[in-house]
Structure 1
């Protein structure tokens, strides 16, 4: 099944950098990107600036530069600059509509406002650049595709959809796709495999590492052979290690005294140093330091490495900043490749901005000598361009694997020597076992796109009930017994409207849970009247 939209537009809202790409339905293969003004980059830093009234001011390079200028004379105090704020959707354990995030100075704004403003900027920038070509295109002709990390949970995906809605993208025109799935559809990843060959998409971004294992089928589409997985070991961890180095060797007090524009300049200087350190025969690199980091250092062991306004580090020291995230990536991949479902893996395809690191590439190749490790032609744009392809043909990936075991809280007849005595309850004179995990989907289970649906029949619990609330649980276990046991967590609920009281408690409402998309969906039907009812998940 293909999309009937005239235009497919992908927004890659990344932890470190963001951008967009698009193509028209009549010429799908011709994917366009746009360079940011004054640069050769198709992505800009995911940095966003708000004025003292919490109104959007600027995004990307412009936001960083303006904040740096404001900080020179102290007028930045009441402004809000947010960087790497996408990570809140992973780190926040109780993500909800009221979640706030901190800017670079520790001041807060609602996360929904910040993220929706970033999405709206990308959306508006794209439509502005295409104004001349879009004169005959209606809003309903555009398929918007928003990429999300494979390791995001259902709450984070729902939050991102709400942010996109707030930015003016309606649900019926919006697709969420997993970043490694999108990368698998890019031209540099999709055209080199034979039918039946298994390959890994290793998407190494600024914030997250996402992994998908794919296999091309005889129809030319692809199937996922392993559940989506990954971790928070992206390129920003290298920057964090450098910051820790500065704090350890120069002192926290000195580090905190840096002006905001100096912080930005140090970060940009370190970005340049990372690239130079990976060049052949590179022995040392120089990183600019502001005066506040160079004063009164005679008593510090690092003093001999500071020459003029530069910190001189050896290439080996730069490499050491990569060690922790790289080790985490390798350890995770080693567990994956030993799984029976992954047996026979032929290729690892590296995409994402962090994959441009020769240090990371070298370690991956050394760690997996029997697997061909390939780097996409343009790693940082593979996700973006692949997402455009999925916008035209959402079902080119025919099957996926469930990331969790999903279930609901149910009650069973109590069976001695099978059920825990602590779960025994008596209802209407009958012995029942409470808190049973009613499994509806198993971890790593095959999900056919647009096909895999689980049906359950529910009855009203009391007379006059017009709405049902079904608690949803998940676990990494294959067959969890009870929803209250360790490893099981309540992730939200399914709300089912059932306003027709015909039949009262004898009514049968069939709830169908659809697992075949990036997000969970549901529908409900009154079996007595045949009426379809609204059913929606709430994870926030």
Structure 2
């Protein structure tokens, strides 16, 4: 159990973000006594919210201005006044860390109009805002509590790679969180921790004994459906109450925002690419309002929906269509036989038939169902009887129905607080960081080493040394294999590495990952350069390097072979 006086968690989501906290003595008395109250003013001050949109605004001189609802409101005002062009506005930027294959410290993001901005500054400013907002919300409760008494937990998708996790750690440290006080939590795991403590009446609308899925020996799948990704882990409950991961974390980009994308694609087909592009470029405020309204309306869509849904279509879209095509948008749509009876216009409103509204969910739900069917065919998932659905998108009746219909032999559990399960579970994880006993490696991890050249070595890896000998500079020395179950804190067999030159101040060791079980060379199929281990400074003849696996982040230890002392070693995954 954590010895910190206070655990504070930040759930940095694709669409919404928030924070929660609890004190050590509160957790011991009641693990579910977690403070997560309304701290965010909604748009136009109409109310308060537990979370705020993950959007951020910087001034023309690239200084942080606002986050969340305040950023949305200010940017909307700038758009209406035509003063937005020199400002920097970003939303749903978290997915960049999943989709960027070559993430670096100096990676830039671009605004919708193409202005570059340092990604790490965007993330660190967002985290700093949430940290300050939490500290402000706590008020007098912080009396007598120092920075070292706070244990911070930051949530990330389990399917993120080591580079993305490392990037978030760097951003958090830039935001003022000390590295030794920071714990990275995997989102579906955190949700699982929270649900284990829920009483039956809060775990299920029906009040049935779904809590039995957390009894020793039970196996269950956690499906964390958020805004950007669907994140999946599979757990077995051990007799000591700890959890064992049965299959490597997996998932994909099938979160709730993909339903929004389906709606946007529909509108683009309806009005044409040029008209839709103009709406996004020249009438950003109207476009933002259009998407916001759909986000609200889509939450009410269920399989039982039998009435038309009304969606506002901005007059600027009608005008842009008229300019582009010389015809009325309403008349052209009315003439389309494939849409006959599916939608009609009434003023600035579009009335959509239930079947058309439901169709925006099809591609997303189908992708999730297909992925789950593939998973349940794996031998590692034998004995799994329960699907635990968490995350904001799990509250969608359409997704819930799709899961329940396709996996009718499974017990499907959706807790009442599905959208807060990750956030509150991250607090619990901060108090009990050793609740997971083992995890399954997503990759084969290894280090690039030199070996005497042999027949069959790749030509591009061969190098002739000063003494004339030929060596191969890219053998993959394996430490852990993909799919291998690893106890948390497990240490690889220490290996001694020697500097490649005689004059050195420290040493860098290249780390590689592979999707294959037994790669021979760093250029083999499936191999990727992950980053480097920096050892030193100082001079030494050799260093014994041990990788530490099983945690939410990769660890490393280096021992100087001359002195036997632990020397400074750390990862650099971002260059």
TM-score by length of 1: 0.94
Shift in Å at residue 202 of structure 1? 0.4
Matched with 1:276 is: 300
Matched with 1:70 is: 78
* Residue 559 (structure 2) pairs with residue 535 (structure 1): no
Deviations 1:347-375 (A, max 9, x none): 11011111111111111112222211111
Matched with 1:9 is: 8
Distance 1:420 1:129, change over 3 A: closer
Greater CA deviation, 369-378 or 161-170?
369-378
Preserved CA contact (<8 Å) 1:390 1:396: yes
Shift in Å at residue 425 of structure 1? 6.8
* 1:170-189 → structure 2 map (5 Å cutoff): 170-187=178-195
State the SS of the aligned residue for 1:537: strand
Preserved CA contact (<8 Å) 2:305 2:354: no
Distance 1:187 1:233 in 2: 23
User: In structure 2, which of residues 422, 440, 450 is the aligned counterpart of residue 401 of structure 1?
Assistant: 440
Matched with 1:267 is: 291
Distance 2:450 2:544 in 1: 18
Distance 2:36 2:449 in 1: 50
State the SS of the aligned residue for 2:494: strand
* 1:113-512 → structure 2 map (5 Å cutoff): 113-187=121-195, 192=212, 193-258=214-279, 259-278=283-302, 280-295=304-319, 296-302=328-334, 305-412=344-451, 434-497=473-536, 499-501=538-540, 507-512=541-546
State the SS of the aligned residue for 2:544: strand
* Residue 534 (structure 2) pairs with residue 513 (structure 1): no
Matched with 1:525 is: 559
Distance 1:420 1:163 in 2: 39
Shift in Å at residue 420 of structure 1? 6.7
Matched with 1:31 is: 34
Preserved CA contact (<8 Å) 2:504 2:539: no
Preserved CA contact (<8 Å) 1:189 1:376: no
Distance 2:61 2:172 in 1: 22
Distance 1:271 1:456 in 2: 53
Aligned residues: 533
Distance 2:333 2:393 in 1: 32
Distance 1:115 1:157, change over 3 A: same
Q: Structure 1, unaligned stretches of length 5 or more? A: 502-506
Deviations 1:271-328 (A, max 9, x none): 2321233274433101111101234315522576221111111222122111222221
State the SS of the aligned residue for 1:300: helix
Shift in Å at residue 43 of structure 1? 1.1
Distance 2:445 2:309 in 1: 50
Distance 1:381 1:532 in 2: 41
State the SS of the aligned residue for 1:480: coil
Shift in Å at residue 11 of structure 1? 0.1
Matched with 1:55 is: 63
Greater CA deviation, 211-220 or 333-342?
333-342
Greater CA deviation, 464-473 or 212-221?
464-473
Distance 2:330 2:260 in 1: 26
Distance 1:323 1:287, change over 3 A: same
Distance 1:34 1:302, change over 3 A: farther
